[in-house]
Structure 1
Amino acid sequence: MPHNARIHRETSSPPADKLPTWLWLLLGIATVALAANRWGVALLGWIAPVPFLVVARRMAGWRRWLVFFGVTCTAGLLATAKIITDPVHPALSLLFGIPAGISIWLMIYATEKIRRAKGELTAVYAFAAIVTVVDWFGYSVARQGIWGTMPASQLDNLPLLQLVSLGGLGLVSFIMAWFAATVAVLIGSDQRRRIHPHLYAAAAMITAAHAWGAWRLDRLPPMKTVTVGGVVTDLGLRDGFPSREALARNVDELFARSAVAASRGAALVAWNEVATLLMEKGEEASLKERAARFAREHGVDFVMAYGVVLSRAPLSFDNKYVWYGPDGREIETYRKHHPVPGEPSLRGTDPIRVNARPWGRAAGAICYDYDNPGIVREHSRGGADLVVLPSSDWRGIDPLHTLMTRVSAIQGGFSVVRPVRWATSMAFDQYGRVRASMSAWEDNDRIIMATVPVGQVPTLYRLLGEWPPLLCGLFLLLLSAGAVRSFVRAKQAGKKTRHDRVKQHFDIKNKGVEILYYR
């Protein structure tokens, strides 16, 4: 081989070829695991899929794809294992980690099949569309929240998160996946020059998104404010059912802390999720009477969140809050609409409400309810200025689960106050900025005071909802239709070719018979 030809071949080989397959697989496990959940590295969230996209080019035969499947499941398990702390059972990592690994494998497999059939550029945008649709399916249809999505690694990137006010989380998913796919082609393909304009376009979009987000955060429209007090307890079911004496002391402490919050100027006081338990249905009437009296005496809106035990074995309880006005009148009784998978609480079915209060329009939900964007949109369309979100978490998801609430605040254009047991309580304004924060792991009085603006900020998301996944789904549908059409044409062409061969065979045979006959 001539020297110049050898140089050209070496310079045109993909950079990814310098690393063996096993190392790319290890890099894929590491980037996926380290980008997600606790101690997540936000920068890795942008390139987490790259090693798997690169190594998929080398997959041939079902045995290699099976090994690859095991690798992606390992990555999903390690990412999920990071949230496993007391009192959560380790089996939870299997419950969520294996589906996460399957999802990763399917996305990479589908993208690689498209790349081999349609080429590099089509695969880039197909991957971005697939990620967007899969992320949307997880938080909208499967109701698993934004856990495992690419944007979940960017919860501290407030300028980027402003995009959710335009098109929901799917818009962020598309941009991040677009960038990752172009990087994968840049290092894994010998067609790098063709991808350069698309990489520049993705980089320009990322820059523009951050610039627009920074500009939006700099806006300070004049708004009224209201002071909210969140009251938190440390009592729960972590060590089994509390004694009646412990429950009685807990209720007294909750009301005492609520009185302190009211004395500090709170117009609204809210407890965390299931702040106390009632062991018998008959105990509820006296607790509600005490709550109404408290609201009336202190002249505050009072959101009392508690649980009523319906059965001990198996465990079943009614998880709800009751909202009282300053006159002691009951405004709303709300039951949790979306219990966490495996949570033994009743599912609420009442219509979502937004209540007119003297200081603005307010609504509420309970913890995991706000992992479902459907309730966020209903609150936004109902004109909510403020949402109170009684919650309960554990160390493994602290403060990630609370920070996910800022996405809802930006989408809906309203303030959110989230008092949380065993985690970090926070309050956010309409742009996701933190207005107050209190950790359960520090020495404090378990009362979070937050002054938040009331007055909804209009968002495109309120009007159009999750439109990026819809467009991405349409693109994938058209791509699939084209693939089916090509397959049918190829099959028809194959049939025609076989027909012509058979016809030619019989023509030759008949012609030979005819010659023999005349002879």
Structure 2
Amino acid sequence: MATISGDPIATAPGTAVRGRPRTGPRPHPVSRWSWLWLLVGAGLLPFASMQTLIPLAAWVAPVFLMRFTRSQRPAIGLPVLVVAMCLALLVGARDGFFPMENGIGYYLFVVTLGVGGAVPFAVDRVLAPWLSGLSRTLVFPAAVTAVELVGAISSAYGTAGSTAYSQYAGLPLLQLASVTGIWGLTFLVSWLAPVLNQLWEQGWSGSGSRGPVVAFAAVLTAALLFGGVQLAFAAPAAETVRVAALAPDRQLSDLAYSAPDLTTADPAERAAVRDEYLRPVLDELFQRSEREAVADARIIAWSEAAVRTLEEEQTAVVARAADLARRHGVYLQVSMIVQLADAGDESDGGAVNENHAVLLGPSGTVVWDYQKSKPTPGDGQEPGPGVVPTVDTPYGRLATIICQDDFFPGLVRQAGRAGVDILLVPSSDWRSIAGWHAQQAPFRAVENGVALVRPTRQGISLATDAQGRLLGHKADYVVASEQTLVVSVPTRGTDTWYPRAGDTVAWASVVGLLVLTGAAWGARRRSRDGAGPAARTGSDQAERPALLDGLPPR
């Protein structure tokens, strides 16, 4: 049985709202199918983000979830949606996906994400009934984009989990990021749900559905054509340079990171730990670096946290790298976790180590010593100053960031504005995020028109060109003993709009959502005054969305 409600969308047919005159069209029923739509949408959610991405799921899941929220009373539909989203997040974030211990803090974090994911549906449920035509379909994508922008600004994980990253597999569509950043992709993917729901509600004959369908199809087609033209006619045509991306030997790296706690050790104990646990992986990486230099690699880059070293040994490690770079005339970037000599207790929130990427030039001089700008929570590090370093070389302009820095497009945009050609992204993952993180990294290459080289410990080492084409990858860290990826990388990047335009699309979505809120508020006030939807006749009434036909006059 359909239930009775005062809601403008979910109301029993033929039932007048108590205390109000029955002059408008028949109200709309609560759909008995809505729970099926919830199950379908929630079943697709774990594949729309997090570690098991199916690109189509990100388009389709919101369609059914919106069908559920629009055909249920808000007091029921929205809390149920939050629960469904939290359960989907627990599935998507399985196997230690987030570096957090199970406990109340973890579940509060999941609930926060679930509420954030439900907010755009709540905004659509509140505003859409008071709008019509194209404007009605823009509420949801604007809300999704605005929520993701707020998350990117406020979250320690930046844009991780953005809707846009679900489209990693479609190179033509991915080129849109070179103009709009990820925000254009987020908006476009999210726009499908209200467009199809409007068509579902009104049918093709409804004039309020044809316009949005045509507009969406036109924008999607334009984006695909733009991407196709970019890939066909603007491919990198520069000379290439041989680059070696090194991750540490797995067993030796495990040995280094199993070293005893050094926070209370005296100098002699620290030296003993260095010799037994830390030096083997360092020696092995230098041996492989020399081998690649002899094999004519001109740029050699180690993964994030490739070695763990003591603060008092850091200068010696850099000097050894400088000697190798000078003898072979190469650019060598060594990445290390430096254990601080005077570190306190990590549980007190103080820094216990530093995360460095040090580039040595062919003359043996230090080109830069970059500290990770956006440390992963719990890593025990203080963030660096957030300035992306660059240097001009015979192989193009180089720059570097470290691992999770790539979740922050605003940080990486410094490389695009500086005209960088090759971006080094030393990284370190863990098994449950390895594939997911590797899928997101090329977005920064496309946005900024840079070739990207990503040597990765405990994950997938890869390299792409400036349009996201995969130049090479090595995905077998957990089973292989050899962890070297050698690729030929274009020495010249491409110009893109995003470094100049920045997050304009995201902020435009925020402004647009405010405008739509004002329009919906005005329509609601006119309805209260008797000049709103229930008083419309003729062609105006014909253009109203079918789900609004139950609005009683006030």
Q: TM-score, normalised by structure 1?
A: 0.85
Q: Which residue of 2 aligns with 1:514?
A: none
State how far apart, in whole Å, the 1-side matches of 2:225 and 2:73 are: 43
Compared CA separation, residues 486 and 100, structure 1 to 2 (3 A): same
Q: Which residue of 1 aligns with 2:114?
A: 101
Structure with the greater alpha carbon radius of gyration: 1
State how far apart, in whole Å, the 2-side matches of 1:388 and 1:406 are: 12
Q: Which residue of 1 aligns with 2:410?
A: 374
Compared CA separation, residues 240 and 26, structure 1 to 2 (3 A): farther
Q: Shift of residue 126 of structure 1? A: 0.9
Compared CA separation, residues 343 and 189, structure 1 to 2 (3 A): farther
Q: Shift of residue 398 of structure 1? A: 1.8
The one-letter amino acid of 1:231's match is L
- The structure that is helix-richer by fraction is 1
Correspondence 1:23-172 to 2 at 5 A? 23-60=36-73, 62-81=75-94, 84=96, 89-90=101-102, 94=107, 97-119=110-132, 121-142=134-155, 144-172=157-185
| Alignment pair present for 1:210 and 2:228 | no
The one-letter amino acid of 1:150's match is T
State how far apart, in whole Å, the 2-side matches of 1:467 and 1:200 are: 25
Q: Which residue of 2 aligns with 1:231?
A: 246
Compared CA separation, residues 237 and 206, structure 1 to 2 (3 A): farther
Compared CA separation, residues 454 and 103, structure 1 to 2 (3 A): same
Q: Shift of residue 143 of structure 1? A: 5.1
State how far apart, in whole Å, the 2-side matches of 1:209 and 1:64 are: 34
Answer with 481-490 or 268-277: which moved more.
481-490
Q: Which residue of 2 aligns with 1:263?
A: 294
State how far apart, in whole Å, the 1-side matches of 2:411 and 2:88 are: 31
Correspondence 1:9-20 to 2 at 5 A? 20=33
Q: Which residue of 2 aligns with 1:461?
A: 498
Q: Shift of residue 264 of structure 1? A: 2.1
The one-letter amino acid of 1:84's match is G
Kindly provide the CA deviation profile for residues 135-166 of structure 1, in whole angstroms up to 9, marking residues without a partner as x. 23333553534333222211111111000011
State whether residues 80 and 97 of structure 1, in contact with CA within 8 Å, keep that contact through their aligned partners in structure 2.
no
State how far apart, in whole Å, the 2-side matches of 1:330 and 1:388 are: 16
The one-letter amino acid of 1:211's match is L
State whether residues 86 and 395 of structure 1, in contact with CA within 8 Å, keep that contact through their aligned partners in structure 2.
no
Q: Which residue of 1 aligns with 2:548?
A: none
State how far apart, in whole Å, the 1-side matches of 2:72 and 2:98 are: 40
How many aligned residue pairs are there? 480
State how far apart, in whole Å, the 2-side matches of 1:366 and 1:144 are: 14
State how far apart, in whole Å, the 1-side matches of 2:499 and 2:426 are: 23
Q: Which residue of 2 aligns with 1:183?
A: 196
Q: What secondary structure does 1:49 align onto?
A: helix
State whether residues 127 and 520 of structure 2, in contact with CA within 8 Å, keep that contact through their aligned partners in structure 1.
no
Compared CA separation, residues 190 and 209, structure 1 to 2 (3 A): closer
The one-letter amino acid of 2:330's match is V
Kindly provide the CA deviation profile for residues 471-500 of structure 1, in whole angstroms up to 9, marking residues without a partner as x. 22221122233455667788999xxxxxxx
Q: Relative contact order (alpha carbons < 8 A, sep ≥ 6): 1 or 2 greater?
A: 2
Q: Which residue of 2 aligns with 1:443?
A: 480
State whether residues 241 and 298 of structure 2, in contact with CA within 8 Å, keep that contact through their aligned partners in structure 1.
yes
Among all aligned residue pairs of Structure 1 and Structure 2, give the percentage whose two residues are the same amino acid.
29
Kindly provide the CA deviation profile for residues 204-248 of structure 1, in whole angstroms up to 9, marking residues without a partner as x. 322332232122112335312211111111215896436531311
Correspondence 1:239-250 to 2 at 5 A? 240-241=258-259, 243-244=273-274, 245-250=276-281
Of residues 494, 498, 511, the one that matches 1:474 is: 511
Compared CA separation, residues 349 and 95, structure 1 to 2 (3 A): farther
Answer with 117-126 or 268-277: which moved more.
117-126
Q: What secondary structure does 2:389 align onto?
A: coil
| Alignment pair present for 1:274 and 2:305 | yes
The one-letter amino acid of 1:329's match is T
Compared CA separation, residues 192 and 390, structure 1 to 2 (3 A): farther
| Alignment pair present for 1:325 and 2:337 | no
Q: Shift of residue 121 of structure 1? A: 4.1
Answer with 59-68 or 255-264: which moved more.
59-68
Q: Which residue of 1 aligns with 2:392?
A: 356
The one-letter amino acid of 1:337's match is S
State how far apart, in whole Å, the 2-side matches of 1:100 and 1:476 are: 21
Q: Shift of residue 271 of structure 1? A: 0.8
Q: Shift of residue 252 of structure 1? A: 0.6
Q: TM-score, normalised by structure 2?
A: 0.80
State how far apart, in whole Å, the 1-side matches of 2:521 and 2:33 are: 35
Correspondence 1:425-436 to 2 at 5 A? 425-436=461-472
State how far apart, in whole Å, the 1-side matches of 2:33 and 2:470 are: 45
The one-letter amino acid of 1:313's match is D
Q: What secondary structure does 2:169 align onto?
A: coil
Unaligned runs of 5+ residues in structure 2 are 1-12, 14-25, 261-272, 531-554
The one-letter amino acid of 2:443's match is V
Q: Which residue of 1 aligns with 2:383?
A: 347
Q: Which residue of 1 aligns with 2:345?
A: 313
State whether residues 416 and 427 of structure 1, in contact with CA within 8 Å, keep that contact through their aligned partners in structure 2.
yes
State whether residues 305 and 390 of structure 1, in contact with CA within 8 Å, keep that contact through their aligned partners in structure 2.
yes
